[in-house]
Amino acid sequence: MAVSSLWDKKLKCPFCGTEFETTRMRTSAMKVKSKDTDFGAVYENECPYMYAITVCPFCLYAARNDDFEKVLVQYEPKMMEASQRMRKVLRKPDIFAVGTLTPETAIRRHEYAIEFSKLKNHPDLAEQAGLRLQMVWIWRLAGNADQEKEAVQEALKAYEDLYAKGSKLPEKLGEPGVLYLAGELNRRLGRLQEARQCFERALASKEIRLHPNVADMTRDMILNVKTELEKKA
């Protein structure tokens, strides 16, 4: 990895006001090699998912890089309360290293981001599901199959929750994309019948024509699952 792919950004925590540095990856250094069937990308060199979350080292407030400073502090009393509580904790976990991060550290940052996301005035289930899915990709890239499987289970739960209760689905995915992902995560867990049901519901969605790419992937996966089921029969 070229040293120049990472840089340290100076930030101010919107909750506790402390200034700190966090390591970011340069967009120009992100080179996608291939895409996985659950939309995760495989990168040449360093992987940007590792550097996607910013955590304040003083109060542990954590969020996606783009959202970290955008939070409207005055509307988030529960997050402020958590920030104040965490400021009093003297020993903080070792997740603030500047420079190259390990997958374990990146995962812990995601966990803090999810915890803070749950405290939002209007918790965003799509955001939480997205973070869960990114954790799947990190474990996969780290080559840790056991952790990946656990993360897939959590991500599946998050997308099922989002589909059942979410007021707004992510625009890029729409209903077909969310159902496709639920199918794909089921498939990765070996739950082929459930996977097929999700894929068929994705194709039956009224919005499917707006997502031709998802439609193609879904048809491929239905064939894939059928073949697997026949092998087992």
Contact residues for Zn ion, defined by CB under 5 A = 13, 15-16, 56, 58-59, 61
Instruction: Quote the least distance from Cβ 15 to Zn ion, whole Å.
Output: 5
Alpha helices in 142-173 (DSSP H): 145-165
CA distances from 65 to 9, 44, 81 (A): 11, 21, 21
Instruction: Quote the least distance from Cβ 131 to Zn ion, whole Å.
Output: 19
Check if the beta carbon of residue 52 is closer than 8 Å to that of residue 98: no
Instruction: Quote the least distance from Cβ 96 to Zn ion, whole Å.
Output: 11
Strand partners, 9: 22
Strand partners, 41: 35
Instruction: Quote the least distance from Cβ 53 to Zn ion, whole Å.
Output: 14
Instruction: Quote the least distance from Cβ 24 to Zn ion, whole Å.
Output: 17
What are phi and psi for residue 156, nearest 5 degrees?
A: -60, -45
83 or 147: CB nearest Zn ion: 83
62 or 152: CB nearest Zn ion: 62
1 or 98: CB nearest Zn ion: 98
What are phi and psi for residue 231, nearest 5 degrees?
A: -60, -35
19 or 216: CB nearest Zn ion: 19
Instruction: Quote the least distance from Cβ 25 to Zn ion, whole Å.
Output: 22
**Counting Cβ atoms within 10 Å, is residue 186 exposed (0-12), middle (13-18) or buried (19+)?**
buried
The number of helices, as runs of H, and strands, as runs of E, in the chain is 8, 6
116 or 163: CB nearest Zn ion: 116
Check if the beta carbon of residue 189 is closer than 8 Å to that of residue 152: yes
24 or 191: CB nearest Zn ion: 24
Q: How many CB atoms lie within 10 A of CB 202?
A: 29
Check if the beta carbon of residue 226 is closer than 8 Å to that of residue 197: no
